[in-house]
Amino acid sequence: MSQANISLHNKEFTPYLPEAQITAAVREVAARINQDYAGQTPLFVAVLNGSFMFAADLLKELTVACEVAFIRVASYAGTSSTGEIKEILGLQEDVAGRHLVVLEDIVDTGHTMKAMLEQLHAKQPASVEVATLLIKPECLQHELNIKYQGLSIPNDFVVGYGLDYDGLGRNYRDLYRAV
Ligand code: IMP
Protein backbone atom coordinates (compact mmCIF):
# COMPACT_ATOMS: atom_id res chain seq x y z
CA MET A 1 0.00 0.00 0.00
CA SER A 2 1.62 3.26 -1.04
CA GLN A 3 1.09 6.25 1.20
CA ALA A 4 0.85 9.87 0.29
CA ASN A 5 3.42 12.54 1.00
CA ILE A 6 2.58 15.11 3.65
CA SER A 7 3.19 18.82 3.59
CA LEU A 8 4.15 20.75 6.76
CA HIS A 9 4.85 24.49 6.65
CA ASN A 10 5.07 24.09 2.89
CA LYS A 11 7.85 21.50 3.20
CA GLU A 12 7.30 18.11 1.63
CA PHE A 13 7.83 14.84 3.52
CA THR A 14 7.70 11.35 2.08
CA PRO A 15 6.84 8.07 3.87
CA TYR A 16 9.95 6.59 5.41
CA LEU A 17 9.52 4.04 8.22
CA PRO A 18 6.09 2.49 8.75
CA GLU A 19 4.49 2.08 12.16
CA ALA A 20 5.09 -1.71 12.12
CA GLN A 21 8.84 -1.22 11.89
CA ILE A 22 8.80 1.33 14.71
CA THR A 23 6.69 -0.98 16.88
CA ALA A 24 9.10 -3.86 16.31
CA ALA A 25 12.06 -1.68 17.32
CA VAL A 26 10.26 -0.44 20.44
CA ARG A 27 9.46 -4.02 21.44
CA GLU A 28 13.08 -5.10 21.04
CA VAL A 29 14.26 -2.27 23.27
CA ALA A 30 11.55 -3.09 25.83
CA ALA A 31 12.53 -6.77 25.91
CA ARG A 32 16.15 -5.86 26.65
CA ILE A 33 15.13 -3.42 29.38
CA ASN A 34 12.83 -6.03 30.95
CA GLN A 35 15.81 -8.40 31.14
CA ASP A 36 18.40 -5.88 32.25
CA TYR A 37 16.26 -4.32 35.00
CA ALA A 38 14.65 -7.47 36.39
CA GLY A 39 14.37 -7.10 40.15
CA GLN A 40 15.08 -3.34 40.05
CA THR A 41 12.77 -0.33 40.01
CA PRO A 42 14.16 1.98 37.34
CA LEU A 43 13.06 5.59 36.90
CA PHE A 44 12.46 6.46 33.25
CA VAL A 45 13.24 10.07 32.43
CA ALA A 46 11.35 10.95 29.25
CA VAL A 47 12.41 14.09 27.42
CA LEU A 48 9.47 16.19 26.21
CA ASN A 49 8.13 16.94 23.72
CA GLY A 50 9.54 14.49 21.20
CA SER A 51 9.62 11.31 23.27
CA PHE A 52 5.97 11.21 24.35
CA MET A 53 4.88 8.54 21.86
CA PHE A 54 8.02 6.43 22.27
CA ALA A 55 7.74 6.65 26.06
CA ALA A 56 4.06 5.63 26.02
CA ASP A 57 4.59 2.67 23.68
CA LEU A 58 7.76 1.51 25.43
CA LEU A 59 6.25 1.67 28.91
CA LYS A 60 3.27 -0.41 27.78
CA GLU A 61 5.72 -3.21 26.90
CA LEU A 62 7.55 -3.13 30.23
CA THR A 63 6.89 -5.70 32.91
CA VAL A 64 9.34 -4.43 35.55
CA ALA A 65 8.05 -2.18 38.32
CA CYS A 66 9.09 1.32 37.27
CA GLU A 67 8.43 5.03 37.57
CA VAL A 68 8.39 7.68 34.89
CA ALA A 69 9.25 11.39 35.03
CA PHE A 70 8.86 13.88 32.21
CA ILE A 71 11.44 16.60 31.74
CA ARG A 72 12.25 19.34 29.30
CA VAL A 73 15.57 20.61 28.13
CA ALA A 74 15.74 24.38 27.85
CA SER A 75 18.39 25.96 25.63
CA TYR A 76 19.60 29.45 26.15
CA ALA A 77 22.54 31.44 24.83
CA GLY A 78 25.66 30.94 26.87
CA THR A 79 29.36 30.46 26.65
CA SER A 80 29.68 26.70 26.17
CA SER A 81 31.46 25.30 23.09
CA THR A 82 28.20 24.98 21.20
CA GLY A 83 27.23 28.55 22.06
CA GLU A 84 24.28 27.48 24.15
CA ILE A 85 23.61 26.00 27.56
CA LYS A 86 21.06 23.26 28.05
CA GLU A 87 19.31 22.96 31.37
CA ILE A 88 17.02 20.22 32.64
CA LEU A 89 13.61 21.46 33.76
CA GLY A 90 10.90 19.64 35.65
CA LEU A 91 12.77 16.84 37.38
CA GLN A 92 11.11 16.80 40.82
CA GLU A 93 12.16 13.29 41.80
CA ASP A 94 15.14 12.63 44.01
CA VAL A 95 17.29 10.62 41.63
CA ALA A 96 20.20 9.94 44.01
CA GLY A 97 20.80 6.19 44.17
CA ARG A 98 18.19 5.45 41.46
CA HIS A 99 18.66 3.53 38.24
CA LEU A 100 17.78 6.02 35.50
CA VAL A 101 16.91 5.38 31.87
CA VAL A 102 16.65 8.52 29.74
CA LEU A 103 14.05 8.20 26.97
CA GLU A 104 14.71 10.32 23.88
CA ASP A 105 13.12 10.44 20.44
CA ILE A 106 16.29 11.07 18.48
CA VAL A 107 19.99 11.62 19.03
CA ASP A 108 21.48 13.73 16.25
CA THR A 109 24.75 15.53 17.12
CA GLY A 110 24.44 14.31 20.71
CA HIS A 111 24.89 17.82 22.17
CA THR A 112 21.57 17.63 23.99
CA MET A 113 22.20 14.16 25.38
CA LYS A 114 25.73 14.98 26.48
CA ALA A 115 24.54 18.01 28.46
CA MET A 116 21.65 16.07 29.94
CA LEU A 117 23.83 13.15 31.02
CA GLU A 118 26.32 15.48 32.71
CA GLN A 119 23.54 17.10 34.72
CA LEU A 120 21.96 13.78 35.64
CA HIS A 121 25.27 12.26 36.73
CA ALA A 122 25.84 15.25 39.03
CA LYS A 123 22.73 14.20 40.96
CA GLN A 124 24.45 10.92 41.90
CA PRO A 125 22.11 8.28 40.54
CA ALA A 126 23.09 4.61 40.91
CA SER A 127 23.24 4.30 37.10
CA VAL A 128 22.20 6.15 33.95
CA GLU A 129 21.46 4.56 30.59
CA VAL A 130 19.87 5.99 27.47
CA ALA A 131 17.13 4.56 25.28
CA THR A 132 16.60 6.46 22.05
CA LEU A 133 14.16 5.48 19.34
CA LEU A 134 16.32 6.94 16.57
CA ILE A 135 19.99 7.72 16.17
CA LYS A 136 21.87 9.36 13.29
CA PRO A 137 25.36 7.83 13.64
CA GLU A 138 26.80 10.02 10.85
CA CYS A 139 25.92 13.16 12.82
CA LEU A 140 27.09 12.11 16.27
CA GLN A 141 29.81 14.41 17.62
CA HIS A 142 30.25 13.00 21.12
CA GLU A 143 31.19 9.63 22.50
CA LEU A 144 27.97 8.71 24.21
CA ASN A 145 27.45 5.22 25.41
CA ILE A 146 23.88 4.76 24.21
CA LYS A 147 22.85 1.31 25.33
CA TYR A 148 19.39 1.07 23.78
CA GLN A 149 19.06 2.23 20.17
CA GLY A 150 15.81 1.56 18.35
CA LEU A 151 16.69 2.38 14.74
CA SER A 152 19.76 3.91 13.09
CA ILE A 153 18.93 6.32 10.30
CA PRO A 154 20.98 8.36 7.83
CA ASN A 155 21.32 12.13 8.04
CA ASP A 156 17.74 12.86 6.98
CA PHE A 157 15.32 15.16 8.75
CA VAL A 158 12.38 13.06 9.93
CA VAL A 159 8.96 13.77 11.39
CA GLY A 160 6.14 11.71 12.86
CA TYR A 161 5.80 9.45 15.89
CA GLY A 162 6.41 12.39 18.22
CA LEU A 163 9.02 14.18 16.11
CA ASP A 164 8.21 17.58 14.68
CA TYR A 165 9.18 20.06 12.04
CA ASP A 166 8.69 23.47 13.67
CA GLY A 167 5.84 22.16 15.83
CA LEU A 168 4.04 20.12 13.20
CA GLY A 169 4.08 16.42 12.39
CA ARG A 170 4.19 14.83 15.85
CA ASN A 171 0.82 13.15 15.42
CA TYR A 172 1.65 10.74 12.59
CA ARG A 173 2.01 7.03 13.37
CA ASP A 174 4.69 6.53 10.71
CA LEU A 175 7.95 8.35 10.16
CA TYR A 176 8.37 10.63 7.16
CA ARG A 177 11.54 12.18 5.83
CA ALA A 178 12.09 15.55 4.23
CA VAL A 179 12.17 15.37 0.43
P1 IMP B 1 21.15 16.88 19.10
O2 IMP B 1 21.43 17.71 20.32
O3 IMP B 1 21.84 17.42 17.89
O4 IMP B 1 21.42 15.41 19.29
O5 IMP B 1 19.64 17.09 18.75
C6 IMP B 1 18.65 16.44 19.38
C7 IMP B 1 17.33 17.15 19.18
O8 IMP B 1 17.22 17.77 17.89
C9 IMP B 1 16.22 16.13 19.25
O10 IMP B 1 15.80 15.93 20.57
C11 IMP B 1 15.18 16.74 18.35
O12 IMP B 1 14.39 17.64 19.09
C13 IMP B 1 15.96 17.52 17.33
N14 IMP B 1 16.13 16.75 16.07
C15 IMP B 1 17.29 16.27 15.57
N16 IMP B 1 17.09 15.63 14.42
C17 IMP B 1 15.76 15.70 14.17
C18 IMP B 1 14.91 15.19 13.10
O19 IMP B 1 15.34 14.54 12.12
N20 IMP B 1 13.59 15.47 13.22
C21 IMP B 1 13.06 16.17 14.25
N22 IMP B 1 13.81 16.64 15.26
C23 IMP B 1 15.15 16.41 15.22
Report whether residue 86 contacts ligand 1, using a CB cutoff of 6 Å. Answer: no
In 3-state terms the chain splits into helix, strand, coil percentages (rounded to 5) of 25, 35, 40
Top CATH class of 21-155 equals alpha beta
pLDDT digits (tens, 9 = 90+) for 156-170: 999 999 999 999 999
Report whether residue 133 contacts ligand 1, using a CB cutoff of 6 Å. Answer: no
How would DSSP label each residue in 26-79? HHHHHHHHHHHTTT---EEEEEETTTHHHHHHHHHT--S--EEEEEEEEEEE-S
Whole-number Å distance, alpha carbon 106 to ligand 1 midpoint, is: 6
pLDDT digits (tens, 9 = 90+) for 49-97: 999 999 999 999 999 999 999 999 988 776 555 667 789 999 999 999 9
User: What does the domain layout of the chain look like in residue ranges?
Assistant: 21-155
Whole-number Å distance, alpha carbon 111 to ligand 1 midpoint, is: 10
Whole-number Å distance, alpha carbon 84 to ligand 1 midpoint, is: 15
Looking at every residue in the chain, the average pLDDT score rounds to: 94
Report whether residue 107 contacts ligand 1, using a CB cutoff of 6 Å. Answer: yes
Q: Looking at residue 75, what is its pLDDT? A: 80
